[in-house]
Amino acid sequence: MNFDAPILSSPIEYLKGVGPLRADILKKELQIFTFRDLLDHFPLRHIDRTKITQLASVSPSMEYIQVAGTIQSMQVLGENRGRRLVAQLKDGTGILELVWFQGINWIQKNIQIGQAYLVYGKTGYFNGMLQLTHPEMEVYTPAKAGGKAFLEPIYPSTEKLKAKSLGGRQLGKLMFTLLEALQERDLPENLPARLLQEYQFPSRYEAYQQIHFPISELAYQRALARLKFEELFIAQLRLGLIKLERHRYSRGVIFSQVGEHFNNFYHNHLPFALTNAQKRVLKEIRQDMAHGRQMNRLLQGDVGSGKTIVALLSMLLAVDNGFQASLMAPTEILATQHYQGLSALLKEMPVKIALLTGSTKAAARKKILKELAAGDLHLLVGTHALLEDPVQFRQLGLAIIDEQHRFGVAQRARLWKKANIPPHVLVMTATPIPRTLAMTAYGDLDYSIIDELPPGRQPITTVHRFDYSRGQVMDFIKEEIQKGRQAYCIFPLIEESEKLDLENLMRGYENIKAFFPEPKYWISMVHGRMAPDIKETNMQRFVQNDTQIMVATTVIEVGVNVPNASVMVIESAEKFGLSQLHQLRGRVGRGSEKSFCILLTGTQLTNEARERLKIMCATNDGFRIAEKDLELRGPGDIEGTRQSGMLNFKLADLIKDKQWLDAAKYQAAQVLETDPELKREENSALKLYLQAQKGKLAWSRIS
């Protein structure tokens, strides 16, 4: 079903001026397949066509300039990778160098000495000389300046597109053709009239016209605001509708009582007092599971905040009410650790627990499946193996998923199909997501947060060191090992190929081995391409302190618990994202000893990398780091949010457009409160629009 006119679904090759060849590149380079996709390719900025800067008045502070002049001369300079075409542009007040590194032959043929050009590009300096590299050029006729649009759009483009005359400026010509072909009724209004009035928004059609070819800065700003609001409002509405539907229609099993298992464990076997945050969260979970509708809850807690014990107590509640519970982890190592940890905690309790992973032997597996189906097994811990069809519970009441970001939505759905009445679902994540973001991304989930670490934790000291101080870093590790501690050395996955990554890791391993020779020291190594049993053996040797150093790639990232490890060295730390660095650091500081995280880098760092290292050294607070990560990278890249699909807005920015986000939330809530089924006339366009979207996005109503 379509909401917009069929013309917008036309393949892009049918737009005048495109054709099959250019269509191919548009598809490959910008994922523009249809007229609609082009329409949603929004400009980076606009330039005033009539404004031509004189070369004499160009200053270093101007980032982009538009100049006009004649080409005086052209030369090919340099060799190999330094080979470039340099042209001199003169306008009567000064001279400017234009430089090309690619497509030299083509440009040499097409640009004529003595011809006047309108030139647009980003300024740069080389040997103190102002240059434009790969500028956009068109033959200059005074009539051309001051064309139809006052503000001309400049679009995101790529080198390949530029080579086919589809640079950031030239794409505007296609957009112009497209917009001329569209009429008001092709882009019908989807927002209620009330909102257009309240915020003084232009119509949808008008907004598209003005965001591409604005008649003024103000018109542009209003079009932009409207389209941002629309994006956020529609997203909020969709989430709200899912949540409403779930609350209305999903039955849930009722855990009415807190019984013997829970109480017995709580009073006799709990190894420590719960933190207030743990108590609060547990209460939220208990209430949620007692009310006859399915729980769908996201539990966030920084690394080491103690989510596992909350999971265990919740599972005991299920057992108390005659149900089984499962705990699923993303890796075999993690599942095994959970199993071992929980078994130890439960060893004096009459609760039966088992581990099921891909490497569970056939006989053991058969036994587990039998007991599971008979209801003799209370708790099942495992990996993806839990999702397989033969795994049938007698009565699954609670499904817990640890480290949620490794599991997709579809996988969660498979879990709850394992019971007549869907089990309660608790999703635990250690990837801190800023609260605003979580509410936006997971607006359909209920949300709990453990915002307090267990008492007695010593903050981890984090420092940044350059590669050339590696010797000192190794000496420091020696001192820690002397004291009986252990250390991690983590290598990034950086190359395109696994083979290169492995070589990189091996080199690092040899390097470290040179500092820590056997038999005085022993080193474990773990990486993604290792056979699971070897990986497991190496892990276990480290867990048991048979090896003092663990050299690994990021497979170690989540969950591994070796409280005796006190040093985390992260190699090429500039290659990691903030949340990943934070996750890795969370592997130390788990015991009572003072722990350290050392971020090693080369000396060549981008500003953004510097920022990341700085924030890591400044704080241990996962939520502050997440906020910073969001600021630096934008929400689309934040781990754990990507597959929610709710954060990849084309225009809106959840941080910068907080005002519009709040407005959108408020207005969406208003609509859902007054007209939850969108039956009113004023919401009819909205309803049609949402229905059309639904078909396109294969929307799942699962958490």
> Which stretches of the chain bind ligand ADP, using CB under 6 A?
272, 274-275, 278, 301, 303-309, 430, 454, 561, 590
Burial (0-12, 13-18, 19+ Cβ within 10 Å), 367: middle
d(CA 581, CA 570): 8
User: Helices 217-249 and 684-697, interaxial angle, to 10°?
Assistant: 80
Joined tokens for residue 638: 């934040």
In the complex with ligand ADP, the residue whose CB is nearer, 249 or 272, is 272
Q: In whole angstroms, how close is the CB of 268 to ligand ADP at the nearest point?
A: 16
- 362 to 381, contacts with Mg ion by CB under 5 A? none
In the complex with Mg ion, the residue whose CB is nearer, 252 or 559, is 559
Report the DSSP beta bridge partners of residue 89: 71, 96
In the shown chain, the binding pattern of residues 465 to 504 toward Mg ion, with x for contact by CB under 5 A and - for none, equals: ----------------------------------------
Kindly give the pairing relationship between strand 424-429 and strand 486-490. Answer: unpaired
Q: In whole angstroms, how close is the CB of 383 to ligand ADP at the nearest point?
A: 16
How long, in residues, is the chain?
703
Report the DSSP beta bridge partners of residue 154: 45
Q: In whole angstroms, how close is the CB of 342 to ligand ADP at the nearest point?
A: 11
Q: In whole angstroms, how close is the CB of 580 to ligand ADP at the nearest point?
A: 15
In the complex with Mg ion, the residue whose CB is nearer, 172 or 640, is 640
Supply the Cα-derived Rg of the chain in whole angstroms.
30
Q: List b or e across 81-93, with b for residues whose CB sees 16 or more CB atoms inside 10 angstroms.
A: eeebbbbbbebee
In the complex with ligand ADP, the residue whose CB is nearer, 398 or 558, is 558
In the complex with Mg ion, the residue whose CB is nearer, 214 or 559, is 559
User: Using CB distances below 5 to 8 A depending on partner kind, what does residue 272 bind out of Mg ion, ligand ADP, none?
Assistant: ligand ADP
User: Using CB distances below 5 to 8 A depending on partner kind, what does residue 454 bind out of Mg ion, ligand ADP, none?
Assistant: ligand ADP
Q: Enumerate residues 6+ apart whose C-beta is below 8 A from 512.
A: 474, 489, 523, 549, 551
- The continuous run of DSSP H or E covering 118 comes out as strand 116-126
Joined tokens for residue 27: 């598809």
User: Using CB distances below 5 to 8 A depending on partner kind, what does residue 304 bind out of Mg ion, ligand ADP, none?
Assistant: ligand ADP
Q: In whole angstroms, how close is the CB of 278 to ligand ADP at the nearest point?
A: 6
Angle at 460 between CA 458 and CA 465, to 5 degrees: 155
Q: Which residue is nearest to ligand ADP (CB)?
A: 306
Choose one: 123-131, 219-227, 466-474, 553-561; the region binding Mg ion (CB under 5 A). Answer: 553-561
- 283 to 312, contacts with Mg ion by CB under 5 A? none
User: Using CB distances below 5 to 8 A depending on partner kind, what does residue 309 bind out of Mg ion, ligand ADP, none?
Assistant: ligand ADP
In the complex with ligand ADP, the residue whose CB is nearer, 71 or 281, is 281
User: Using CB distances below 5 to 8 A depending on partner kind, what does residue 228 bind out of Mg ion, ligand ADP, none?
Assistant: none
Q: In whole angstroms, how close is the CB of 434 to Mg ion at the nearest point?
A: 20
User: Using CB distances below 5 to 8 A depending on partner kind, what does residue 274 bind out of Mg ion, ligand ADP, none?
Assistant: ligand ADP
Helix, strand, coil percent content, the chain, rounded in steps of 5: 45, 20, 35
In the complex with ligand ADP, the residue whose CB is nearer, 430 or 638, is 430
Q: Which residue is nearest to Mg ion (CB)?
A: 559
User: Using CB distances below 5 to 8 A depending on partner kind, what does residue 158 bind out of ligand ADP, Mg ion, none?
Assistant: none
In the complex with ligand ADP, the residue whose CB is nearer, 537 or 561, is 561
Choose one: 110-118, 136-144, 341-349, 551-559; the region binding Mg ion (CB under 5 A). Answer: 551-559
User: Using CB distances below 5 to 8 A depending on partner kind, what does residue 620 bind out of ligand ADP, Mg ion, none?
Assistant: none
- The H-assigned helical ranges of 14-149 are 19-30, 35-39, 104-110
Q: In whole angstroms, how close is the CB of 304 to Mg ion at the nearest point?
A: 8
Q: In whole angstroms, how close is the CB of 272 to Mg ion at the nearest point?
A: 16
Nearest one of 442, 447, 449 to 641, comparing CA atoms: 442
User: Using CB distances below 5 to 8 A depending on partner kind, what does residue 305 bind out of Mg ion, ligand ADP, none?
Assistant: ligand ADP
Report the DSSP beta bridge partners of residue 131: 97, 124
d(CA 698, CA 703): 14
The residue type at 174: L
In the shown chain, the binding pattern of residues 555 to 584 toward Mg ion, with x for contact by CB under 5 A and - for none, equals: ----x-------------------------
- Phi first, then psi: what are they for 639, rounded to 5°? -55, 140
Q: In whole angstroms, how close is the CB of 305 to Mg ion at the nearest point?
A: 9
In the complex with ligand ADP, the residue whose CB is nearer, 30 or 430, is 430
In the complex with Mg ion, the residue whose CB is nearer, 69 or 559, is 559
Contact criterion met (CB below 8 Å) for 626 and 639: no
User: Using CB distances below 5 to 8 A depending on partner kind, what does residue 278 bind out of ligand ADP, Mg ion, none?
Assistant: ligand ADP
128 phi-psi bin (left φ>0, alpha ψ -120 to 50, beta other): left
Kindly give the pairing relationship between strand 324-328 and strand 396-402. Answer: parallel
d(CA 404, CA 430): 8
In the complex with Mg ion, the residue whose CB is nearer, 172 or 559, is 559
The three-class DSSP label of residue 355 is: strand
User: Using CB distances below 5 to 8 A depending on partner kind, what does residue 275 bind out of ligand ADP, Mg ion, none?
Assistant: ligand ADP
Contact criterion met (CB below 8 Å) for 145 and 66: no
d(CA 198, CA 660): 13
Q: In whole angstroms, how close is the CB of 287 to ligand ADP at the nearest point?
A: 21
Q: In whole angstroms, how close is the CB of 590 to ligand ADP at the nearest point?
A: 6
Q: HSE (CB half, 13 Å, CA atoms) of 391?
A: 28
- Phi first, then psi: what are they for 86, rounded to 5°? -120, 130
Q: In whole angstroms, how close is the CB of 258 to Mg ion at the nearest point?
A: 24
Q: In whole angstroms, how close is the CB of 311 to Mg ion at the nearest point?
A: 8
In the complex with ligand ADP, the residue whose CB is nearer, 535 or 590, is 590
In the complex with ligand ADP, the residue whose CB is nearer, 4 or 302, is 302
CA distances from 277 to 157, 268, 400, 429, 627 (A): 49, 21, 19, 15, 21
In the complex with Mg ion, the residue whose CB is nearer, 397 or 559, is 559
Joined tokens for residue 182: 């569209």
Q: How many CB atoms lie within 10 A of CB 22?
A: 18
As a whole number of Å, the end-to-end CA separation of the chain is: 25
Q: In whole angstroms, how close is the CB of 127 to Mg ion at the nearest point?
A: 55
d(CA 130, CA 65): 11
Task: Provide the binding-site residues for Mg ion, judged by CB under 5 A.
Answer: 559
